[in-house]
């Protein structure tokens, strides 16, 4: 039996997140919202509270959704991007401290820096990626539906990434998608497929080398140069 987990990234966004939450409520779907910290002003926070109250999980998706942390991830920036967002999420945070790096939907070493891994480990975050990014943010936006269904065919448990601002304009397609899941016997669940979890409460679940940039001259993975040989 195939499974699918929904996640909605880059919100909350007033005007988009409300109809999406209404839709999910009508369909009795529970998902995870990976929120961007800078969107958590009064209106954004109210939407995150509403999502949380509806049983959705709230995860951290950086403060600014700027350059991926693997491309610019010194310790100070990492602590600000992740820590400040977590502070704003506050009591809405999932107990496992969910964090999803941003990276244009691509998996790779651009996602994290060694400093980011150290921060996530020290602060016991659970790092969640994805395995189905059908591109609701790309034109033609409607094409996400077929891409998502095709990706589901190839794997037992999909973790799909959709985005509040885009999917909220295509709730008719989201309804078709949910009907197609039913028709194919795909069960919607809230937990994440283990293959999409890189760290669990701070502990790496796998070799992280494929997801971490090792910049020469920086970071804890750097091997110190040996001292010059004093004796020739």
Q: Which of 56, 136, 163, 164 is catalytic?
A: 163
Closer residue to Zn ion in complex, CB, 9/86:
9
- Separation of alpha carbons 229 and 125, rounded Å: 42
Q: Minimum distance from CB of 2 to Zn ion (Å)?
A: 25
Which one, of 146, 136, 135, lies nearest residue 176 by Cα?
146
Closer residue to Zn ion in complex, CB, 9/164:
9
Tell me whether residue 9 is one of the annotated catalytic residues: yes
Residues that bind Zn ion (CB under 5 A): 9-10, 102
Give yes or no for a contact between 126 and 153, defined as CB atoms under 8 angstroms apart: no
What is the three-class DSSP state of 199?
Answer: strand
- Separation of alpha carbons 89 and 59, rounded Å: 8
Give yes or no for a contact between 96 and 201, defined as CB atoms under 8 angstroms apart: yes
- Separation of alpha carbons 141 and 73, rounded Å: 31
Tell me whether residue 74 is one of the annotated catalytic residues: no
Closer residue to Zn ion in complex, CB, 58/186:
58
The number of C-alpha atoms within 13 Å of 127 and in the hemisphere containing its C-beta is: 26
Angle (CA) 50-85-42 rounded to 5° is 45
Buried b (16+ CB within 10 A) or exposed e, 111-133: bbbbbbbbbbbeeebbbbbbbbb
Q: Which of 9, 56, 110, 164 is catalytic?
A: 9
Closer residue to Zn ion in complex, CB, 102/158:
102
SS3 for 131-154 is CECCCCCCCCHHHHHHHHHHHHHC
Closer residue to Zn ion in complex, CB, 10/113:
10
Buried b (16+ CB within 10 A) or exposed e, 84-102: bbbebbeebbbebbbbbbb
Q: Minimum distance from CB of 52 to Zn ion (Å)?
A: 19
Residues taking part in catalysis: 9, 163
């Amino acid at each position: 039996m195939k499974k699918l987990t929904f996640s909605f990234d880059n919100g909350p966004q007033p005007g988009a997140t409300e109809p999406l939450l209404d839709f999910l409520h009508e369909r009795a779907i529970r998902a995870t919202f990976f929120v961007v910290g800078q969107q958590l002003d009064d209106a954004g926070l109210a939407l995150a509270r509403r999502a949380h109250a509806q049983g959705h999980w709230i995860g951290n998706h950086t403060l600014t959704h700027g350059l991926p942390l693997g491309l610019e991830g010194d310790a100070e920036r990492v602590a600000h991007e992740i820590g400040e967002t977590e502070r704003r999420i506050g009591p809405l945070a999932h107990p496992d401290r969910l964090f999803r790096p941003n990276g244009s939907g691509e998996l790779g070493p651009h996602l994290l820096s060694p400093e980011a891994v150290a921060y996530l480990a020290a602060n016991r975050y659970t790092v969640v990626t994805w395995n189905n990014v059908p591109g609701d943010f790309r034109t033609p936006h409607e094409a996400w539906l077929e891409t998502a269904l095709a990706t589901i065919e190839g794997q037992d448990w999909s973790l799909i990434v959709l985005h509040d601002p885009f999917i909220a304009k295509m709730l008719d397609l989201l309804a078709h998608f949910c009907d197609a899941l039913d028709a194919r016997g795909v069960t919607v669940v809230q937990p994440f497929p283990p293959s999409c979890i890189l760290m669990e409460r701070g502990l790496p679940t796998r070799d992280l080398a494929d997801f971490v940039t090792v910049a020469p001259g920086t970071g804890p993975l750097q091997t110190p140069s040996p001292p010059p040989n004093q004796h020739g």
